[in-house]
């Protein structure tokens, strides 16, 4: 869940600071859960049909993932440390979100 809203992620900001209503935070999390459910449905419906193709390319993908995923983790860690060391910058007032817009935005970002 990575929808920035000024000074943090919407659900985290809702829980920590109370700057958005609990209903908006709940709607945002429901948007992400809806995307997860759509992905699960896609996997169940399409997974059986693609089993043969997936089996044929599984071994090369495992090797590629063994190299790419640690590299991404390292890049993310370095980026996070650099970001934490930087001085905070002035941020304008975050946009006001309603519960339906928070759900739609986080659903769209997650998809």
Q: In a structure prediction context, what are the per-residue pLDDT tens digits for the chain, which is 111 residues long?
A: 444 444 456 656 666 655 557 777 777 788 888 888 999 999 888 887 888 888 888 889 999 999 999 999 999 888 888 877 776 665 666 666 677 887 787 777 777
Residues 29, 37: contact at Cβ < 8 Å?
Answer: no
- pTM of this structure: 0.43
Residues 97, 24: contact at Cβ < 8 Å?
Answer: yes
Q: In sequence order, which residues have a C-beta less than 8 Å from that of residue 95 and are 6 or more positions away? A: 5, 6
Instruction: Give the count of alpha carbons within 13 A of 53, CB side only.
Output: 5
74 membership: H or E segment, kind and range: helix 51-85
Give me the residue spans of the domains in the chain. Answer: 10-79+99-110
Residue with tokens 């919407």: 10
């Amino acid at each position: 869940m990575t929808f920035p809203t000024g000074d943090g992620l919407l659900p985290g900001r809702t829980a920590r600071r109370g700057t958005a209503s609990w209903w908006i935070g709940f709607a945002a999390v429901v948007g992400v859960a809806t995307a997860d459910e759509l992905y699960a449905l896609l996997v169940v419906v399409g997974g059986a049909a693609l089993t043969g193709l997936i089996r044929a390319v599984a071994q090369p993908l495992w090797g590629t993932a063994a190299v790419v995923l640690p590299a991404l983790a390292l890049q993310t860690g370095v980026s996070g440390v650099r970001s934490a060391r930087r001085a905070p910058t002035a941020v304008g007032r975050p946009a006001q979100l309603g519960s339906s817009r928070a759900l739609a935005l986080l659903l769209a970002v997650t998809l």
